[in-house]
């Protein structure tokens, strides 16, 4: 699914990082087009929700009572990757002229001519088909919800043209992952309170982070007539907005800990997530945005990894060792 792209270093960030020729070069460009490596942002939370769903299914008989299987895990990963690739592909297609005009993004694959528009469209359509196919393999409910999911993850790319709420739509798009994993494991929406709380945590985390990242494009957005929270509310207002969203993230993680009856490993993981968010807001000041760089971007990838590790330890590893 779509997410903010890291800012440019002295050498453009959107250029491939390794020299490549032939087939390998093409694969590198495709992977860069959809930021395949950034799957790290949403997939761990999706898998964490799947673990919670597995526990619910095997202890309460929710759904078929079987819970997670290796085949379901494969379909979940395929569904998430397909939806995210489709969303990123659509984003690059509809934003190609905007990207070309923005110095930070002008070297992306479409405006730079590294990938043709037709190729990007084919990739997006194929990724959408993979998502719908994987959803169908996970059950009727997942299949019926898949078109709505595609509308949401693709709609994010259009919102900046008429509403500053695009950041919130991006948060919603990535938040669909935990909800989808719950449906995939349980076969329906029963017991959906837990994944709903996790969706709030993921959605507010991503939206708050995207606001911070959008600060670097504030002047461009104003000049191009694009809508964003930085363009609408300024730097200080954006920092307050982002901080408020991340307070909701912390509250949602705390609520999930209590509702799910989680143990100390989850508490440590949730605490680490909150600590990272506090650190991010501490280093980004209204008069100094210089630390919003690639390292800052990558730091957020550790949030989802830390949380997944905490859930895995709490529900799977530590009980097996005791």
What is the set of domains in the chain, with CATH numbers?
22-321 (1.10.357.140)
Residue 285 sits at φ, ψ, to 5 deg, of: -115, 155
CA–CA separation, 159 and 215 (whole Å):
17
pLDDT for 27 equals 73
Q: What is the model's pLDDT at position 2?
A: 47
Across-strand partners of 288?
285
Can you list the residues of the chain whose pLDDT is less than 70?
1-23, 30, 32-34, 36-38, 294-295
pLDDT score for 8: 43
Return all residues near 53 (Cβ < 8 A) that are at least 6 apart.
62, 67, 68, 181, 182, 184, 185, 186, 195
Helices (H) and strands (E) in the chain, counts: 13, 0
Model confidence pTM above 0.85: yes
> What whole-number distance in Å separates Cα of residue 292 and Cα of residue 6?
9
Cβ–Cβ < 8 Å for 154, 87: yes
b (16+ CB within 10 A) / e for 231-261: bbbeeeebbebbbebbebbbebbbbbbeebe
pLDDT of 253 reads 97
């Amino acid at each position: 699914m779509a997410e903010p792209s890291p800012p440019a270093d002295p050498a453009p960030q959107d250029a491939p990082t390794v020299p490549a020729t032939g087939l390998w070069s093409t694969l590198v460009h495709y992977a860069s087009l959809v930021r395949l490596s950034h799957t790290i942002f949403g997939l761990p939370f999706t898998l964490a929700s799947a673990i919670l769903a597995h526990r619910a299914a095997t202890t309460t008989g929710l759904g078929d009572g079987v819970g997670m299987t290796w085949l379901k895990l494969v379909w979940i990963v395929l569904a998430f990757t397909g939806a995210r690739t489709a969303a990123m592909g659509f984003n690059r297609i509809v934003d190609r002229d905007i990207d070309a005009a923005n110095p930070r993004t002008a070297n992306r694959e479409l405006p730079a001519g590294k990938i043709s528009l037709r190729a990007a469209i084919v990739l997006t359509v194929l990724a959408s088909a993979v998502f719908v196919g994987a959803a169908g393999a996970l059950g009727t409910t997942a299949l019926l919800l898949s078109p709505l999911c595609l509308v949401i993850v693709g709609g994010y790319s259009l919102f900046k043209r008429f509403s500053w709420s695009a950041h919130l739509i991006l948060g919603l798009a990535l938040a669909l992952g935990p909800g989808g994993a719950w449906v995939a494991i349980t076969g329906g929406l029963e017991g959906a309170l837990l994944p709903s709380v996790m969706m709030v945590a993921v959605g507010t985390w991503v939206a708050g982070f995207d606001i911070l990242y959008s600060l670097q494009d504030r002047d461009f957005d104003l000049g191009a007539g694009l809508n964003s929270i930085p363009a609408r509310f300024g730097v200080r207002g954006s920092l307050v907005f982002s901080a408020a969203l991340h307070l909701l993230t912390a509250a949602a993680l705390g609520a999930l800990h209590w509702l799910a009856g989680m143990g100390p490993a989850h508490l440590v993981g949730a605490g680490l997530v909150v600590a990272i968010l506090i650190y991010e807001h501490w280093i980004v000041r209204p008069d100094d945005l210089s630390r919003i760089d690639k390292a800052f971007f990558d730091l957020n990838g550790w949030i989802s990894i830390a949380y997944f590790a905490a859930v895995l330890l709490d529900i799977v590893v530590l009980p097996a060792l005791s």
